[in-house]
């Protein structure tokens, strides 16, 4: 497996430059004061489609053959990959089909359709929607676009890490949410190819700790059940490629319950005036609950991976 390196991430960034934003890295005085670190927030919630997920498909589609494009593409998604694939397909003039869990955030379903993709609703978690996507590949010959376990996709997602380093070469620690592992794989590879001493820490829901369990047990684990309502973190089995990258390049993985992550959404809205979705707020939650271990004054970048939040999930939560 030939992994993307600094040059590959630079090339990916050049390919997607006409279609994506270089999102800001914002200083968070409140988080810095509370944690004793110098904290900055990589605001991918300002990206097109509202999350980093447009990056990977834009890079991936440049490698498709004319035949693969002509057959149309299909993916399975909790929502953000759906929108990324849908918009990237529209940019490339490719027909797109997206399989989403039936309980996906309604705004994500609507946005995916608005970008021009056909949406198929199936199951209650990503893994079940993915089974439907694979069935349609066999039946109709679509070109399958994996949401995380693809090196060309990872090459696109890793441009988030490239931008962090370009804006803040002094960075000591990057904190990144983990669903299937595509984002943290790309960010870890990009940052460590540019500055090997950077520590990369992943954050999962304690109700869906697929990557942490796999790393701790030394092999891919399929969770028996997922007790997680945050769509970007709700995965039973992480990717083979992402597992291999994470176990080699990610320094630590921490977990916290959904309620604390949702409270971090509200905290970030109140104190940072930003509106992250649940998965995006997981790194902030990890900081607020003292799970990120680093020396005082460490320069810490939190990746706010998206802003397609389901506000109904926040009812009754508190902030402090």
Cα 99 from Cα 299, distance rounded (Å): 39
Cα 208 from Cα 204, distance rounded (Å): 7
Instruction: Find the mean pLDDT for residues 126-153.
Output: 94
Nearest of 184, 191, 162 to residue 242 by alpha carbon: 184
Phi, psi of 185 (to 5 degrees): -60, -50
Question: Does one domain contain both 258 and 219?
Answer: yes
Give the largest Cα separation in the chain, rounded: 56
| pLDDT > 70: percent of the chain | 97
**pLDDT above 60: residue 319:** no
Cα 155 from Cα 6, distance rounded (Å): 10
Question: Does one domain contain both 78 and 171?
Answer: no
3-class DSSP state of 107: helix
Cα 95 from Cα 70, distance rounded (Å): 8
Burial of 134 (0-12, 13-18, 19+ CB in 10 A): middle
Does 24 fall in a domain?
yes
Kindly report the average pLDDT of the chain as a whole number: 94
Nearest of 274, 278, 264 to residue 231 by alpha carbon: 278
Last residue of a domain, one of 144, 177, 209: 144
Question: Does one domain contain both 288 and 165?
Answer: yes
Question: Does one domain contain both 39 and 175?
Answer: yes
Residue pLDDT, tens place only, 44-67:
999 999 999 999 999 999 999 999
Nearest of 179, 178, 200, 180 to residue 189 by alpha carbon: 200
Does 117 fall in a domain?
yes
In the chain, the number of structural domains is 2
Does 33 fall in a domain?
yes
Question: Does one domain contain both 211 and 95?
Answer: no
Q: What is the pLDDT of residue 139?
A: 96
Instruction: Find the mean pLDDT for residues 179-199.
Output: 97
**pLDDT above 80: residue 312:** no
For residues 129 and 163, the model is more confident at 163
Question: Does one domain contain both 114 and 158?
Answer: no
Does 320 fall in a domain?
no
Q: Domain span at residue 101?
A: 54-144
Of 42, 53, 236, 241, the catalytic one is 53
Residue pLDDT, tens place only, 236-251:
999 999 999 999 999 9
Residue pLDDT, tens place only, 63-84:
999 999 999 999 998 778 999 9
For residue 226, give the CATH number of its domain.
3.40.50.1100
Does 158 fall in a domain?
yes
Nearest of 164, 154, 143, 134 to residue 300 by alpha carbon: 164
| Whether residue 305 lies in the annotated active site | yes
For residues 125 and 250, the model is more confident at 250
Instruction: Find the mean pLDDT for residues 256-260.
Output: 97
CA torsion through residues 145, 150, 155, 158, sign: positive
| pLDDT confidence band for 317 (50 / 70 / 90) | low
Q: What is the pLDDT of residue 314?
A: 61
Question: Does one domain contain both 184 and 253?
Answer: yes
**pLDDT above 90: residue 315:** no
Does 236 fall in a domain?
yes
Does 254 fall in a domain?
yes
Does 319 fall in a domain?
no
What pTM, to 2 d.p., does this model score?
A: 0.94
Cα 129 from Cα 102, distance rounded (Å): 8
Q: What is the pLDDT of residue 12?
A: 97
Cα 87 from Cα 130, distance rounded (Å): 20
């Amino acid at each position: 497996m030939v992994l993307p390196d600094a040059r590959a991430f630079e090339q990916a960034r050049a390919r997607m430059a006409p279609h994506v934003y270089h999102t800001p890295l914002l200083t968070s005085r409140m988080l810095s004061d509370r944690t004793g670190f110098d904290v900055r927030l990589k605001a991918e919630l300002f990206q097109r489609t509202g999350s980093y997920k447009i990056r990977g498909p834009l890079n991936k589609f440049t490698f498709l053959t004319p035949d693969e494009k002509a057959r149309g593409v299909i993916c399975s998604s909790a929502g953000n990959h759906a929108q990324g694939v849908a918009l990237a397909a529209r940019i490339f003039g490719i027909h797109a089909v997206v399989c989403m869990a039936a309980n996906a955030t309604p705004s994500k379903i609507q946005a995916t359709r608005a970008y021009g993709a056909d949406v198929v609703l199936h199951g209650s978690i990503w893994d079940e929607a993915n089974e439907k996507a694979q069935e349609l590949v066999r039946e109709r010959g679509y070109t399958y676009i994996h949401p995380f376990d693809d090196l060309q996709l990872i090459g696109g997602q890793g441009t988030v890490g490239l931008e962090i380093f370009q804006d803040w070469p002094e960075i000591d620690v990057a904190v990144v949410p983990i669903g299937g592992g595509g984002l943290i794989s790309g960010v870890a590879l990009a940052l460590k190819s540019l500055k090997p001493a950077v520590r990369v820490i992943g954050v999962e829901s304690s109700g869906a700790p697929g990557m942490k369990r796999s790393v701790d047990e030394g092999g891919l684990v399929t969770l028996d059940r997922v007790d997680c309502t945050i769509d970007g973190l709700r995965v039973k089995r992480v990717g083979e490629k992402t597992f291999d990258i994470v176990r080699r390049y990610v320094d630590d993985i921490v977990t916290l319950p959904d309620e604390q992550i949702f409270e971090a959404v509200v905290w970030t809205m109140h104190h940072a005036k930003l509106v992250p979705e649940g998965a995006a707020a997981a790194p902030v939650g990890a900081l607020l609950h003292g799970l990120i271990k680093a020396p005082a004054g460490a320069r810490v970048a939190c990746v706010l991976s998206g802003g397609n939040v389901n506000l109904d999930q926040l009812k009754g939560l508190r902030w402090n």
